Amino acid sequence: MQLRLVSWLFIIGNLMEPVGSQQEQQEQQQPPSRVRRQGRTNPNMSQPCPGGCATCSEYNGCLTCKPRLFFFLERIGMRQIGVCLTSCPSGYYGTRFPEPTACTKCKADCEACFNSNFCTKCKNGFYLHLGKCLENCPEWLEPNNYTMECNDIVHCKTSEWSLWSPCTKNEKTCGFKRGNETRIREVLQLPSTKGSPCPHTREARKCVVQRKKCQKGEKGKKNREERRKKPKRDESKEIRQENRGRESRRQNREQRENKSRLQLKKKRMQDKQQKLHTITISTVH
């Protein structure tokens, strides 16, 4: 009986040995990089996962994230490493339901977005309007090249006309019969590029009043300034005397110059006559 048991155990041992050798041969035939990668992608790694990761691998980084965190594939050279972030980077938006929390890329014309259908900032060359990125704004809107958005067209707004001013002439309110009166209005809103321009803000018209004499202090600011500019009597006398002296000196100088010119002319005439007289005498002889 014992011999039979020993023989059966010997037979079973011989049968199991080829199976184990086949497994060892398959492992040896596999490329070493594949064996290494399979070992790294094993979630049950010896080292702890980075912060925020629920599961991870040595080669691929985070595989799943803890609650409230977004999974994002970060490119490092030719590799992509999984990381867990509290918010997605620019150009991506976070999704929670129904898919697992992850960062999804925005549309091609979006630089930043809230979800797949709503952009918050467009790339260069596009204008933002109601969450969409457009190459040209609609006709009822105008493009803002500073914010790169489609804005409403703003027209000019002005206040109501003021009351007509008192009738004046040369800044005076007395001493005339016909003058002018004015009224103004203020600009409340400047127009945009396509908006309607602002109208004139000042109007004037002629007016007729009953002539009245100006009282003291009513001749206006202009007359008061002219009075300030007038010299005093003493100063005007000195100036007049000085001007008279200059005039008399100028006249005397002119008289002397004229007298000297006449004398020179007379002398020239005498010299000429004398020369003619000498010539005639010489011819006679």
pLDDT reported for residue 227? 57
pLDDT reported for residue 11? 52
pLDDT reported for residue 143? 92
Of 34-48, 200-214, 253-267, the range with the highest mean pLDDT is: 200-214
pLDDT in tens, 152-203: 999 999 999 999 999 998 888 888 888 999 999 999 999 998 899 999 999 9
When computed from its CA atoms, the radius of gyration of the chain, rounded to whole angstroms, is 55
Whole-number average pLDDT of the chain: 78
Residue 129 has pLDDT above 60, yes or no: yes
pLDDT band at 135 (very low <50, low <70, confident <90, very high): very high
Residue of higher predicted confidence among 208 and 20: 208
Amino acid at 176: F
Q: Residue 246, Cα to own-chain centre: how many angstroms?
A: 65
DSSP letters of the chain?
Answer: -HHHHHHHHHHHHHHHHHHHHHHHHHHHHS-HHHHHHHHHT-SS-SSPPPTTEEEEETTTEEEEE-TT-EEEEEEETTEEEEEEESSPPTTEEEE-SSSPSEEEE--TTEEEEEETTEEEEEPTT-EEETTEEESS--TTEEEETTTTEEEE----EE-PPPPPPPPBBTTBSSS-SEEEEEEE--EEE---TTSPPP---EEEEEEE----PPPTT-SHHHHHHHHHHSPPHHHHHHHHHHHHHHHHHHHHHHHHHHHHHHHHHHHHHHHHHHHHHHHHHHHH-
pLDDT in tens, 32-84: 433 333 333 344 455 678 888 988 888 888 998 888 899 999 888 888 889 99
285 vs 277: CA distance, rounded Å: 13
Q: Which of 42-46, 101-105, 221-225, 237-241 has the lowest mean pLDDT?
A: 42-46
pLDDT band at 225 (very low <50, low <70, confident <90, very high): low
112 vs 102: CA distance, rounded Å: 16
CA–CA distances in Å: residue 48 to residues 51, 57, 63, 88: 9, 10, 13, 24
